[in-house]
Structure 1
Amino acid sequence: MKKRVIWAFAAVAAFTVSVFAAQELSAPLRDKWTVQEVATLASMRLKVAGVRPADFSNAYEQKTEAATLGRALFNDTRLSKNGQVSCASCHSAAGQFEDGRQFGQGVGTGKRRTMPVMGAAHSPFLFWDGRKDSAWSQALGPLEDPAEHGGNRVAFVKLVLGHYKSQYQAAFGPVPVLGQLPENASPNGSDAERAAWAALSATTHDGVNRVFANMGKAIAAYERNIVYGESRFDEYAEATVRGDARGQESLTLQEVRGLRTFLNKGQCVTCHNGPLLTDHAFHNTGVPPVDPKNPDRGRIDGLKQLLKDEFNCLGPYSDAKPEQCGELQFLNTNDAGQLGAFRTPSLRNVAARAPYMHAGQFASLDQVLQHYAASPKAAIGHSELARPGEKHAERQTIRLSAADIQDLAAFLHAFTGPVVQPK
């Protein structure tokens, strides 16, 4: 009898909750949107990103043993010239997997802003100029960059095989026969390192490169598990799609005004769209160069570096078939619109990632929005933004009042959510 009473009470409670939920869903929405706007909001929910697409060039990215090794390598400061810099030095797990600096700081100072690693598995091109086409290839670049880790691949390979040999074999199988290696050698780096590399056989080159590539694949396997979590914006978008009146309270009225500007006259959604709030493309928006006398050429130079990179999708260390490298096979290296263009960053967690733009040119979101409202001419190439009085085939002039900028800046904070990472 007692169990029946408890069951009956639970059934009544469940019915009450379901009735209350139905009432909430049938209540008039606080914020009204057009059918097209609701569709756009639906497309921007994080959950529609779905399962992270497989990187055909990395056959080990979902292998636990590779991710375990990758995590160790990501945090190992011995993988640097001075023994003090690791991947985690610039991509800190304590924050947004970036460093909060205007320029990346390794053994030296870089020329661009550090980008976070979240969402990398969804992007066809990486770095601000897109000079890498996979997360594993991207991970290799900083290791030999003189301003970042400043090391050389033979030294890295020797360290991995000296300290992580069993973990390496668990992830990638037998180690290539390398013979006696010099202390330092690389096709990049100092004159001495290049000379030492040239003295090695082609077979040794291939073996070293194979282990080096697998280091990147291990790091990418670890980074694949670092993702964005849902934000207040996602709660609001979901509530709006479902017709949930109470759920719309996830955003303040000011934030909703900012969202309307984001979708409409601000034209932000033109580039910052989809579940990761980026079109994964490259744009020249007239961002002022740090050095006006030597402006950063951006994507147009990144394309050239990508195509000659031995670690790209079509290279000998890729696990992909040529037909699986479509993005790489149809690139236009003669597109003048790529001059001064930079990758569209995700706006997820953007409020927690000052400063902004490819070289940290703007200290605050207000400054970023004021830049777009002003739509200045580009110092190099041609800005895609329509200037007042200018006829533009694809865009309209962005006209934002001071109140619009305040509302937009407030709304951008609603994109902040947790960073989900392996324990």
Structure 2
Amino acid sequence: MRTGLKIFLGGFLATAGWLAWEWVPWQLKTDWDEEELRLIQSLSLDSLEPLKLDLSNSVAGSLEAAEFGHTLFFEKRLSANQSVSCASCHQPDNYFTDSLPLAMGIGLGTRHTPSLVGLSYSPWYYWDGRRDSQWSQALAPLEAKHEQGMDRTSLVNFILHDGPHLEKYEKVFGAISPDLKNTDLSNSPASPIGNSTEKETWQSFESKTQIEISKIFSNIGKALAAYQRQLQPGGSRFDDYTRALQTASLREDPKDSILNRRERLGLKLFLGKGNCVDCHNGPLFTNHEFHNTGVIPLPGELPPMGRFDGIRIAREDPFNCFGPYSDANPKDCAELQFARDTSEMVGAHKTPTLRNIAKTSPYMHTGQQKSLAEVIEHYNEAPTAMVSHNEAKPLKLRRSEMKQLEAFLRTLSAPPATDSVWLNPPN
């Protein structure tokens, strides 16, 4: 009897101790040392530098180009079934994502839709960085069969023979040659990356015609990029807190202020034990780099090669910084010229922004993680990567700490700092 009681009490105390260790939020300090204050200020939107012009896109800063791109972004006729636009996946009401694990255009895509808010600051696009500019990225969905499913010639034909779109195009990019204007391309679906019939038709065109069509096609992307540059993040509660920290009294203030105690403890973990700031740094909470973090592929699929393949695709892209449709001087293409393509890029994917992260579920490049809690659990365990190696190490956070970290991440939500006119279809 006594032996049984001792075993019961021992087990009870052990369980109680484990639960207390995992779940009780121990009274840790939430004041900040000088290094933490420096890091916190570096994450503030107040530290975000003005958006630089994209030298490969001569109309990147043009308001007229942005207005034209705004029209194109919501234009469903730029799809094979006349029902899919850029905004079908990049929905303004969902922070320019779609709340789906995989994008759904004409068909089911292979990757999760990232937010466009603040994306103009990135030097690389797509999860594997297969495009080196926002305008070249904007072109790919137009011809992708599971997204908008158009062919290059049909896209250009639409611009040529739709009066309002043609007027806007020529206002931004200048007059289109009369020969091409007078050519009816409606019965000539063609593209260098289409199906066999489209490729054959494309090869039948004169080189001059191919170049003219691809030039107009590239300009569609440049207008779309000019519009997307208007989509910038707004200040969150975290940013309010960083401004308040400028006053010395708040640096050691233990009571709830702009961020409550749990959120401040989460911020401390973000900066320290969680190692989050190693990759999610700067005002956009991303280093714009590529990392293998051991994300398990979808059931039945092989793990993707990630950035290792992405940089090869970017270098072969005719619309890259060095290509004939780029407006950049080759000396301005250092990002592409010196991009790493070594073995550590195998399985690596782009570090996403954490701004509005609580509003843009699911997560990871194929939407494998449904909630922030699942993401934090993933990094806490740091599973072995199926290709190459997982750069992340197990965090060994307690359950209460994981809740604190999640609470902090939820302070990063805010509407875009964008005039509402850009968030709705144009009149």
TM-score normalised by length of structure 1:
0.88
Which of 338, 344, 350 is the matching residue for 1:343?
350
**What amino acid maps onto 2:203 in structure 1?**
A
**What is the aligned partner in structure 1 of residue 387 from structure 2?**
380
Going from structure 1 to structure 2, the CA distance change for 1:105 and 1:49 (only over 3 Å counts) comes to same
1:268 aligns with 2:276: yes
Task: Give the 5 Å matches for 1:202-351.
Answer: 202-243=207-248, 245=250, 249-291=257-299, 293-333=301-341, 335-351=342-358
**What is the aligned partner in structure 1 of residue 425 from structure 2?**
none
**What amino acid maps onto 1:356 in structure 2?**
Y
Q: Distance in 1 between matches of 2:249 and 2:54?
A: 37
Q: Confirm or deny: 8 A CA contact 2:94 2:360 kept in the other structure.
A: no
| Structure 1 gaps, min length 5 | 1-29, 387-396
Q: Distance in 1 between matches of 2:30 and 2:196?
A: 64
1:405 aligns with 2:402: yes
**Aligned-residue offset at 1:50:** 2.0
**Aligned-residue offset at 1:420:** 2.8
1:102 aligns with 2:101: yes
Q: Distance in 2 between matches of 1:188 and 1:60?
A: 26
**What is the aligned partner in structure 2 of residue 173 from structure 1?**
174
**Aligned-residue offset at 1:243:** 2.7
Q: Confirm or deny: 8 A CA contact 1:283 1:343 kept in the other structure.
A: yes
Q: Distance in 2 between matches of 1:340 and 1:40?
A: 29
1:418 aligns with 2:415: yes
Q: Distance in 2 between matches of 1:415 and 1:322?
A: 38
| Structure 2 gaps, min length 5 | 1-28, 422-427
**What is the aligned partner in structure 2 of residue 184 from structure 1?**
189
**What amino acid maps onto 1:366 in structure 2?**
A
Report the RMSD for the aligned CA atoms in angstroms: 1.5
SS of equivalent to 1:209 = helix
Q: Confirm or deny: 8 A CA contact 2:292 2:391 kept in the other structure.
A: yes
Q: Distance in 2 between matches of 1:306 and 1:148?
A: 20
SS of equivalent to 1:420 = coil
**Aligned-residue offset at 1:293:** 4.7
**Aligned-residue offset at 1:162:** 1.5
Q: Confirm or deny: 8 A CA contact 1:292 1:379 kept in the other structure.
A: no
Q: Distance in 2 between matches of 1:191 and 1:291?
A: 31
Q: Confirm or deny: 8 A CA contact 2:308 2:347 kept in the other structure.
A: yes
Q: Distance in 2 between matches of 1:64 and 1:244?
A: 44
**What amino acid maps onto 1:165 in structure 2?**
L
**What amino acid maps onto 1:69 in structure 2?**
F
Q: Distance in 1 between matches of 2:289 and 2:200?
A: 38
Q: Confirm or deny: 8 A CA contact 2:91 2:98 kept in the other structure.
A: yes
Q: Distance in 2 between matches of 1:244 and 1:194?
A: 68
**Aligned-residue offset at 1:248:** 7.3
Q: Distance in 2 between matches of 1:345 and 1:415?
A: 14
After superposition, the C-alpha distances for 1:374-397 in whole angstroms (9 at most, x for unaligned) are: 1110011211023xxxxxxxxxx4
Task: Give the 5 Å matches for 1:124-163.
Answer: 124-163=123-162
Going from structure 1 to structure 2, the CA distance change for 1:45 and 1:244 (only over 3 Å counts) comes to farther
Q: Confirm or deny: 8 A CA contact 1:236 1:248 kept in the other structure.
A: no
Q: Distance in 2 between matches of 1:42 and 1:292?
A: 44
Going from structure 1 to structure 2, the CA distance change for 1:418 and 1:248 (only over 3 Å counts) comes to farther
Task: Give the 5 Å matches for 1:9-20.
Answer: none
**What amino acid maps onto 1:398 in structure 2?**
L
**What is the aligned partner in structure 2 of residue 16 from structure 1?**
none
**Aligned-residue offset at 1:138:** 0.7
After superposition, the C-alpha distances for 1:275-313 in whole angstroms (9 at most, x for unaligned) are: 000000000000111145511221111111100001011
After superposition, the C-alpha distances for 1:138-170 in whole angstroms (9 at most, x for unaligned) are: 100111111111111110011112121111010
After superposition, the C-alpha distances for 1:99-130 in whole angstroms (9 at most, x for unaligned) are: 01000000010111001111122100011000
Going from structure 1 to structure 2, the CA distance change for 1:262 and 1:141 (only over 3 Å counts) comes to same
Q: Confirm or deny: 8 A CA contact 1:101 1:360 kept in the other structure.
A: yes
Q: Distance in 2 between matches of 1:91 and 1:145?
A: 16
